[in-house]
Amino acid sequence: MNKGRCFAVILFSLIAVYQSFAEYSPLSVPDSSEIRKTLVNSWFTRGFDELAAEKPFIAENLLGEKFQIRMEDLETEFAVVVAPSSDLAVEVHTNTGIETKTADIYPFDSPGSWVLYRNKEDGKPLRICFYFQADSKVYIQIRPDDKKSLADIRMFNTYPVYGVSIGLPIENYYTLSFARLYKLTSYFLPWNYFSIEKGMYRANLQMIGVIRDHKDLFTYASDGAYDHAGRSVFISSGELRSVENDGLLYLDTAGFAKWVVDGLVYAQTGSYLNLDPLKRETVLTKTGTMAQSLMGKYNIYFSLDWTRNLAAAWLSIISGKDLMFENTGAEVTLSPFAAVQTERGVERSIPHIAGTGYSTPTLKPLMYVLAATEPERMYLGAIRQSDGNSPEIVYYNEAAVFFPFFDDEGLFHCIVYEGSREMTIDEFTEKWQGSFVNLVRLKTSQRFFPLNKK
């Protein structure tokens, strides 16, 4: 192959790789910057009363992408919206029946939308929002700060970035493209949280699909799991459980977590995990504490030990080393948020608490970040509960399994299994309000063969 042709092939390959990545990159959103340059005097600086008389209109960028420009009245403030076209499927009744047609809509929070919020009384700019993700609750906003500006990135109810100075007056962002904003802030804003690569979630989806294929076989059984030989046993004693030979799987939430990990282990070794190493204590209790006195009666850290040791067992198998939990690095300790939105307003926050985990309201944005930065992972959670009387009395009895992923449209999902019960991350958060969850990470695999009693 001659050098010219070789260069052309390499160049074509690089373009193909970039285009594949761009499907999931923040930079792939429609750009309205050229349109906005024509709106500064007519829409971005005129008062509310004047703009109230203006009708929405459509403009196209240099690529022929359509945007609607409109004003929205929001009580004490108003918004100037520059929103790209989105397709909406609608059913139309005709003489020959019902036909499905597409209609143009212009949501203010779709990827590529740009919204300027202004004070209704004096017209001053309050903030600019750039929407760049399929999830409309993920966006960056610019706020004025004297002669400079501050940037916040909002992700659901949290802020990975809050109040970071970005130098230029807010008026400079009236005509700035999102691609330019991305480049200017690429060295100090965590854009890696939002770059999603196609095809990185097949193993997670495969495992979810297999679990769903078994959904009619699960029966809840307190203290129930399966041992290394696939026999139904009591977790606490290891004694055989008397069950009907009905092909059903008798599991509690901890037993279910083991059943999932066993499906990965069996594909590698042809056997299942022993129970006793999974009960190894991973928490040192202080002498003289109420926790220590309770530990003499029962393990209040049961699911914390169990999930940690499950992660250590799987990592030992795939690494070929005999690892204790303390040497695995499996525990999730990331603190990717600077602040949280509460009923009292925006409050500074440290998401991860050592020895405790994460409060349930932060789990959804945390799983979003983990899905983007650590694809092909699932997470075992030990749920921390309180007795409701003494803050010193906490216990870990229940476990959950988390599978975060992005779909083909770039939308985030997280399927949670609390035992055999499947729920969304929102449903899980709602159920466990006021609780904390300690997380460990495990690599997923398309080679997943869990125990089946049929």
Report d(CA 358, CA 137) in Å as an integer: 21
Report d(CA 217, CA 232) in Å as an integer: 14
Q: Do the Cβ atoms of 189 and 141 come closer than 8 Å?
A: no
Asked if the model's pLDDT at residue 375 lies above 70, the reply is yes
Q: Do the Cβ atoms of 380 and 262 come closer than 8 Å?
A: no
First to last CA, the chain: 57
Higher pLDDT, 65 or 10: 65
Predicted confidence (pLDDT) per residue in 156-200, tens digit: 999 999 999 998 999 999 999 999 999 999 999 999 999 888 889
Specify the pLDDT at position 1.
Answer: 42
Report d(CA 400, CA 68) in Å as an integer: 45
Asked if the model's pLDDT at residue 21 lies above 50, the reply is no
Specify the pLDDT at position 206.
Answer: 97
Specify the pLDDT at position 312.
Answer: 97
Predicted confidence (pLDDT) per residue in 389-414, tens digit: 655 678 899 999 999 999 988 999 99
Relative to beta strand 97-105, strand 114-119 is unpaired
Higher pLDDT, 6 or 242: 242
Specify the pLDDT at position 167.
Answer: 86
Q: Do the Cβ atoms of 160 and 368 come closer than 8 Å?
A: no
Lowest pLDDT segment from 3-7, 50-54, 101-105, 243-247: 3-7
| Dihedral over alpha carbons 138, 140, 143, 149 (to 10 degrees) | 160
The structure tokens 């983990």 sit at 370
Q: How confident is the model at residue 382 (pLDDT cuts 50, 70, 90)?
A: very high
Q: What average pLDDT is seen over the chain? A: 88
Distances from the Cα of 154 to the Cαs of 9, 102, 332, 378, in angstroms? 41, 31, 22, 24
In percent, the amount of the chain with pLDDT more than 90 equals: 76
Asked if the model's pLDDT at residue 14 lies above 50, the reply is no
Asked if the model's pLDDT at residue 366 lies above 80, the reply is yes
Asked if the model's pLDDT at residue 214 lies above 90, the reply is yes
Q: Identity (one letter) of the amino acid at 377?
A: R
Asked if the model's pLDDT at residue 245 lies above 70, the reply is yes
Predicted confidence (pLDDT) per residue in 112-144, tens digit: 999 999 999 999 999 999 999 999 999 999 999
Lowest pLDDT segment from 4-18, 45-59, 239-253, 351-365: 4-18
Asked if the model's pLDDT at residue 20 lies above 50, the reply is no
Report d(CA 189, CA 152) in Å as an integer: 10
Q: How many helices (H) and strands (E) does the chain have?
A: 10, 23
User: What phi, psi does 111 have (nearest 5°)?
Assistant: -55, 125
Q: Do the Cβ atoms of 402 and 425 come closer than 8 Å?
A: yes
User: What phi, psi does 64 have (nearest 5°)?
Assistant: 85, 10
Q: Do the Cβ atoms of 218 and 225 come closer than 8 Å?
A: no
Q: Identity (one letter) of the amino acid at 437?
A: V
Predicted confidence (pLDDT) per residue in 250-276, tens digit: 999 999 999 999 999 999 999 999 999
Asked if the model's pLDDT at residue 42 lies above 50, the reply is yes
Asked if the model's pLDDT at residue 57 lies above 80, the reply is yes
Domain boundaries, the chain: 23-194, 202-443
Q: How confident is the model at residue 9 (pLDDT cuts 50, 70, 90)?
A: very low
